[in-house]
Amino acid sequence: MSNSKNLIDTEQRLGAHNYKPLDVILTRGEGVYVWDTDGKRYLDCLSAYSAVNQGHCHPKILAAMVEQAGKLTLTSRAFRNDQLAHLYEELAALTGSHKILPMNSGAEAVETAIKAVRKWGYEVKGVPEGKAEIIVCADNFHGRTLSIISFSTDPDARTGFGPYTPGFRTVPFGDADAFAAAINENTVAALIEPIQGEAGVIIPPSGYFKRVRELCTENKVTLILDEIQTGLGRTGKLLAEEHEGIEADVTLIGKALSGGFYPVSAVLSNSEVLGVLKPGQHGSTFGGNPLACAVARAALRVLTEEGMIENAEKMGDYFLEGLRSIRSNIVRDVRGRGLMMAVELVPEAGGARQYCYTLKDRGLLAKDTHENTIRLAPPLVITKSQVDWAVEQIEKTLA
């Protein structure tokens, strides 16, 4: 029995079956490439759901991690550490945020925002206690915690986990009129992804976010943008909101905030919203720990200093052009922004997963989503020749 087979069998036997990964066992990564246990090389077109925007095992982030790990890793927030203030300063300078709250995972950042805007609603806006409502969009993906799946429209994420957390109102994504109609005197916030990633890279119509921003301002509603997947260069801008010419009241970042080395997330906002949280009302043992901060600082530095955001814009346009030139009767739509792309297949194609397996055999790793869609999101360090090679493999697979 091969070692790969052994490892897969052990996972099946001892692990909970809450994932259905492609059967490739990866052991090493560098830049845009990963290698499996048999030594075969693949071009990674998922980037761990955009957590490795900076490429696998970036040497400068690695060096920062190793250095900090040898000095101090965790103090809890009971004491201060010498990395947190620097991370705050650098994040504020980069994003224009006035207040920052560090957490570990994306889902924790979402939960933090939900708690903060509810409290803001009661203490600042004057919503009656227990009545706060948050507007969310159908087909959203914000994480897997109980409160988050309570407002999911995905039956797999939601079914069987009730009773559900109340206080959410769902509207169709990209429909500004439906959004306007959902606002009432108890609406404290709207929580939206600039581009819906899990739903299949769904880009809203032009002008949608401008209107949403106006409606939030007019009605004193906090606009929360979940940029955990779209943020930090993925769409060719530091934050995807820049494409829409708007500014959120609360921005959630995670994933690429550590370049894939460590779980780090952050809630970026202002004193009005985050100022409602007092000592003891919210926190996390690991949130803002010195190792996380040192890693995040290095991850942000390489992202900006090495031109990765500009490269995402350039290579994204080039990749999209290549994908759109593919002639195939099973392709229904090609869409994307920056290096966040999707190829949607016609239902008659028989599902996207089989094509992801064919791509794997050709040395390209991508992931199916929503049955018929292949999602493509390579690290932001991808080059023109690597894009050419990827398009060629995708063309051969779909032709």
Contact 191, 134 (CB under 8 A): yes
The predicted-structure confidence for 48-60, as pLDDT tens digits, reads as follows 999 999 999 999 9
Burial class of residue 8 (count of CB atoms within 10 Å of its CB; 0-12, 13-18, 19+): middle
pLDDT score recorded for residue 233: 98
**pTM of the complete model:** 0.98
pLDDT score recorded for residue 77: 96
pLDDT score recorded for residue 257: 98
Sequence spans of domains, the chain: 60-305
Distance CA 106, CA 251 (A): 11
Distance CA 179, CA 188 (A): 13
pLDDT score recorded for residue 59: 98
Distance CA 228, CA 97 (A): 16
Rounded to 10 degrees, the C-alpha dihedral 363/367/373/375 comes to -80
Q: 3-class DSSP state for residue 152?
A: coil
DSSP 309-326: HHHHHHHHHHHHHHHHT-
pLDDT score recorded for residue 362: 98
- In this structure, are strands 340-345 and 364-365 parallel, antiparallel, or unpaired? unpaired
Distance CA 394, CA 345 (A): 12
Find all residues with CB under 8 Å of 229, minimum gap 6, and list them. Answer: 49, 50, 106, 193, 197, 255, 340
pLDDT score recorded for residue 2: 74
pLDDT score recorded for residue 6: 94
Find all residues with CB under 8 Å of 93, minimum gap 6, and list them. Answer: none
pLDDT beneath 50, residues of the chain? 1
Find all residues with CB under 8 Å of 249, minimum gap 6, and list them. Answer: 216, 222, 223, 224, 269, 270, 273
Q: Which residue has the tokens 């609360």?
A: 250
Give strand ranges (E) for the chain: 26-30, 33-36, 41-44, 99-103, 133-137, 168-171, 187-192, 222-226, 250-253, 265-269, 331-337, 340-345, 364-365, 367-369, 373-376
Residues with a known catalytic role: 141, 226, 255
Q: Into which CATH architecture does domain 60-305 fall? A: 3-Layer(aba) Sandwich (3.40)
